């Protein structure tokens, strides 16, 4: 019998015993204690690419050449390695599994050889070369893909770890920065309080010996200003502490912003006039009713308006209540002050941050805008800062008209939710 006919006969022999070979391999793999992952897989998943690989081996034997279907065999071997990685095999389990498959095929090859005495010499060597070459390729291609997937997994894990480390490092840097700012804030507050207390002590001492009523009145005004500044400073600190602790609750209610505007229009113009500033604005009644926390909304408006009055030396401060788009309305405060440099705008809402170019020696610790931004976010709004041509600053707050969710709104109105 020629080598070619012997190879074809061996291929036919393997095909006849296909089910027997497959069952024997499955049984031996499951019995192998060193391949525990195989026990958790159903038969179909454990078989994986074995049928295709079986066909590639018999095709090579029929052709008498290990190069026939070599690329297809390599692809299926790689896919087998990838699947075993996905099935949580260890590399040694994959190697042992392929070794079991080789032993099963070699046992049946020996059976074929015993039944065919002519299957010796060059014929036997050629057939063994094809079979062993096939299993060598299967071993190399499957393990190469398996290891490649492992490396990719390690690479991804390292990348995730590096990203997490970067985030932790940035977070730690942020914490250090916040700690430094809070330490600076503590020094600034101590300095501010001490200055006010020194001024109050001085005024009290002078008043104790001052007989001139007009002079005494001036000192009373100085005393009053210092007490107001200390009170404002303490109120800011208390507000900030409440927001920082998450203890600030939102009391949703239905209200008309025009009522708030009219109320503030009585107090703010007087504050502006005391600094020699004009005060104006627009109250658009088409905004209609809104859902908000009236007290927090008032604090937001007062913070922005008083900030504008405080840092504007001359000109005008305006307060505008305007209709918006996409279910929002707009609260706008504009001034003709020195403006905020572009590079400072992203930092002005950070706690304890003060814009050196605009403070002009005014007292404060840099909490006003930080508190304002947090209050706006509690009302589910956002704040923008713009610098119009010609100077000044525009703070634009966009707030939803219908902020609460249906159930919250129902609770506010006392009606069933949607």
In the prediction, which pLDDT does 414 show? 46
The 8-class DSSP code of residue 402 comes to: B
> Using an 8 Å Cβ cutoff, are 99 and 106 in contact?
no
Task: Determine the 3-state secondary structure of 386 from DSSP.
Answer: strand
Cα 284 vs. chain centroid, distance in angstroms?
Answer: 38
Each residue of 233-286: pLDDT tens digit? 677 666 666 666 666 788 889 999 999 999 988 889 988 998 899 999 999 999
In whole angstroms, what is the distance from residue 170 CA to residue 176 CA? 10
pLDDT at 404: 59
Between CA 392 and CA 274 the distance in angstroms is 20
DSSP code at position 388: -
112-128 residue pLDDT tens: 999 988 888 888 899 99
At residue 245, the pLDDT reads: 63
Check residue 357 and give its pLDDT. Answer: 46
- pLDDT value of residue 417: 42
* Among 195, 256, 254, 189, residue whose Cα is nearest residue 222: 195
* 418 residues of the chain, pLDDT tens digit each: 556 678 899 999 999 999 999 999 999 999 999 999 999 899 999 988 889 999 999 999 988 888 877 889 999 999 999 999 999 999 999 999 999 999 999 999 999 999 988 888 888 899 999 999 999 999 999 999 999 999 999 999 999 999 999 999 999 988 887 777 666 666 666 666 676 677 777 667 767 676 677 777 777 777 776 676 677 667 766 666 666 666 678 888 999 999 999 998 888 998 899 889 999 999 999 999 999 999 889 989 988 998 899 889 899 999 999 999 988 999 999 999 888 877 777 767 776 555 544 444 555 556 778 888 889 998 999 999 988 877 889 999 999 988 555 555 444 444 444 3
Three-state SS at 300: helix
The pLDDT value given to residue 418 = 39
Q: Which residues contact 349 (CB under 8 A, 6 or more apart)?
A: 369, 370, 372, 373, 383
What's the per-residue H, E or C state across 162-179?
HHHHHHHHHHHHHHHHHH
**pTM for the whole thing?**
0.49
pLDDT value of residue 20 = 94
Alpha-carbon distance of 203 to 220, in angstroms, equals 8
3 state DSSP class of 233? helix
Give the pLDDT confidence score for residue 70 in this predicted structure: 85
The confidence score (pLDDT) of residue 187 equals 67
CA distance 74 to 280: 80
What lies within 8 Å, CB to CB, of 86 at 6+ separation is 149
Q: Identify the DSSP state of 403.
A: -
For position 250, what pLDDT does the model report? Answer: 85
On whether the CB atoms of residues 366 and 353 are closer than 8 A, the answer is yes
Q: In the sheet where 278-283 sits, what is the strand order? A: 278-283, 316-323, 328-335, 393-400, 382-386
- Enumerate the β-bridge partners of residue 322: 330
């Amino acid at each position: 019998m020629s080598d070619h006919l012997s190879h074809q006969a061996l291929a036919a022999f393997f095909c006849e015993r296909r089910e027997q070979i497959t069952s024997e391999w499955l049984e031996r793999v499951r019995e192998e204690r060193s391949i525990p992952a195989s026990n958790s897989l159903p038969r179909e998943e454990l078989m994986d690419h074995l049928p295709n690989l079986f066909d590639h081996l018999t095709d090579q034997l029929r052709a008498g050449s290990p190069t026939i279907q070599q690329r297809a065999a390599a692809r299926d071997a790689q896919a087998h390695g990838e699947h075993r990685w996905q099935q949580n095999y260890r590399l040694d389990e994959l190697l042992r599994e392929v070794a079991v498959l080789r032993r099963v095929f070699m046992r049946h090859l020996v059976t074929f050889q015993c039944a065919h005495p002519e299957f010796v010499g060059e014929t036997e060597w050629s057939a063994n070369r094809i079979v062993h070459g096939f299993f060598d390729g299967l071993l190399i291609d499957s393990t190469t893909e398996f290891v490649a997937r492992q490396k990719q997994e390690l690479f991804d894990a390292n990348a995730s770890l590096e990203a997490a480390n970067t985030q932790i490092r940035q977070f730690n840097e942020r914490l250090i920065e916040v700690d430094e700012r809070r330490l600076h804030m503590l020094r600034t507050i101590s300095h501010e309080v001490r200055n006010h207390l020194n001024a109050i002590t001085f005024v009290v001492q002078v008043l104790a010996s001052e007989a001139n009523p007009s002079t005494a009145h001036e000192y009373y005004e100085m005393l009053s200003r210092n007490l107001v500044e200390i009170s404002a400073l303490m109120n800011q600190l208390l507000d900030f502490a409440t927001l920082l602790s998450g203890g600030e609750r939102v009391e949703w209610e239905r209200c008309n912003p025009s009522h708030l505007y009219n109320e503030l229009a009585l107090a703010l113009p007087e504050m502006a006039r005391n600094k020699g500033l004009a005060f104006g604005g627009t109250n658009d009644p088409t905004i209609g009713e809104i859902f908000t926390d009236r007290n927090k909304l008032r604090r937001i408006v007062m913070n922005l308006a008083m900030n504008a009055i405080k840092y504007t030396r001359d000109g005008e401060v305006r307060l505008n209540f305007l209709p918006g788009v996409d279910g929002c309305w707009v609260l706008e405060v504009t001034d003709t002050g020195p403006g905020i440099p572009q590079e400072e705008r992203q930092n002005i809402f950070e706690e304890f941050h003060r814009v050196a170019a605009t403070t002009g020696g005014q007292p404060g610790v840099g909490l006003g805008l930080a508190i304002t931004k947090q209050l706006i976010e509690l009302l589910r709004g956002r704040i923008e800062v713009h610098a119009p041509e010609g100077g000044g600053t525009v703070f634009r707050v966009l707030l939803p008209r219908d902020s609460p969710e249906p159930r919250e709104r129902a609770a506010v109105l006392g009606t069933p939710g949607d």
